Structure 1
């Protein structure tokens, strides 16, 4: 007893220290934590890593995440080099120099999807091939810069206005020469597929097409000459104000972009100089029509064509709008005008031949215009009755004078046929008008025949009766 205390009986008692409580054994817990954590970590890793032994075009990506695998693929491609032996010497280019690309992200994602680490059956799969894409323009530029002796520059096709022919013409493109990009690309593909860091290839020189081809320039010339062919200010289908080819060409500027396209622009200020005179060229008064008609009202002859009047409105903005239109390849500018209609005067004409009275009467608008005493066909040659129209007319001809006719009359004047070989004509061989005398025609004095010839147009109705 080490400590004492008086007891109830006066004795002093000493107490032994209390035994400590037994401690919990945690050794198993401490030993188990590292092993468990490692197992969890391994399980977690297996869920995001690609299976061991997986490869893409010789690039080992097993045990990598898809993102890391994509970077590895891209890095290998960029660093793969090709030694190019050409007639102009030897150059070395890398995948990066050639603008080589693959869809590394998609390849890595597919590799993980097909061969995840958590799936032991997918470990050590066969390698995956891939198609390398080359930026041909970038590759050609690199090869040209690294081996200038192997390069002869092509010459672009050009477009220019030729004042002599008043048309746009093309100067054809000329091909250049350079290292064959396709051969270099194939060598890079082969090295990448094999998983080798470098390779050597012998490349020939091949033609290098001009960026601006002859066909592309010809297409631009077609558009430009189409503008020159049609350039002008239109009212409907009428080219009311024509813009001559040289003037239209002076408005235009043609700018090649070096890739085959030709931009067209137009000088708005120059166009405005023509726009300023449009009102004087377009505005006009109406012109009334004057026509000859038959009894049914059908026009048989137009003496004066009718023409609508028109007035051009505000011309502000026309130059700018036309400049935009020309840049789009359209040389036809449609004007807006206010129109005034014209009136039409109709004159009805017809001819009446009365064989009983031996008279011919010209009727105009229902009134007698002229009446002539005539000689019609006699005996077996009596003039045929019926409804006819004036057909062929001639100022002079011989009548008969050919086999089959029993007469020959030279230089018969002012002939207007209405029924086959029957017609009106002047007569100089007799003056016995009022009596049938002819072989079927209507004989008239020369002056009367001339008046009828001028008055009766083709299509004029002729009524012959008794």
Structure 2
């Protein structure tokens, strides 16, 4: 059984009169009101501190003349952003006024950081405050980029004055050393006054203007400083630089090394420096001289994809793998005034195999041959030479080099008419070259011959246009054709 109690009021239970209860309640409300007033009284004169405690801008806080008192950080930052966008720097010189946005003048304001500083009680009129530094990138709320201020001064000088010209250095006519290019004084505005103007605009987030006179301006880099820089640059390029790779040696002459040098100005001193991009460009050029694209093999196939005969052999390519490391090593050595000798490391690049669909009949050949007839196919498109007996390949195809622009290999059907085991090529009046003791020379028309080319490091597409019209082959291949192609053997040259 659940026991239920009657519902009754405390004043009823205590038999307290109704008017007495009401009086107690009134006294309690009055006491609560008095307590609230007592607690509020100490805060009445500490409005700023109360706002700070609440993470709000304190009383009297303002940005660019606009009050931000009582605003949140985000609200203050929004005001700072708006004011900074409207802030300008105006400079009047010789009756001409140049006005540009603060940011272009070099003033930089971090709205969030400046809002934090204001809420922390910062005074924007104090240039020694922790939130302000006189250089860009300092991580403070307000900063000034000295280079941007200098650029503004140069712009003003160019418009209304005469810019001073810094002394500089340049390679000599021979390119193997450096010489001084004299500087000259000018007339312009005072840099310190301009910097102070931009600082004030940045710190207070208010537009600033000033009238400045033209003054004599000396070059930031003197002739003496340039003389010292020229001597330093000469020392920088003095050591030799040599690269080897794939059997080749590449040297950077003094003029090339001089082209790697640039200069920078540090505290009025002209300092020669090695330009990494220039050194890298030379290394790339050296690498390109030994690199080869792979030559894909070509197989002649019929319409069903069945192999008829190989048309061109594959040849692996070659690529340099340490360009960046070599570039850095050259710079390190020259900076230490030490010569550099290094190797361009290479690796092979695999070649693919392509299929070329051709006729399955004898019409795919460049020559109509009798059964067993010897003939030589010179394919200038594939850069190959192949020996046939009838329509059977007996040697090749072999990669070869043919004539280049202005010395193109003739096309047509000809016959071997003369052979020499060894002969000097060119070496007479009217010829622009001379190769002594060239072996296995097989003439098939006029001065056109098949012969060895020991000077050639590579054969085939990409290296092929290197002769004066003859067919250049490796030594052993030229020897084979010399022995096989007797007088009267047909030679067909075609694209």
**What range describes the TM-score normalised by the shorter chain of this pair?**
0.3 to 0.5
What is the TM-score of this pair, normalised by structure 1?
A: 0.37
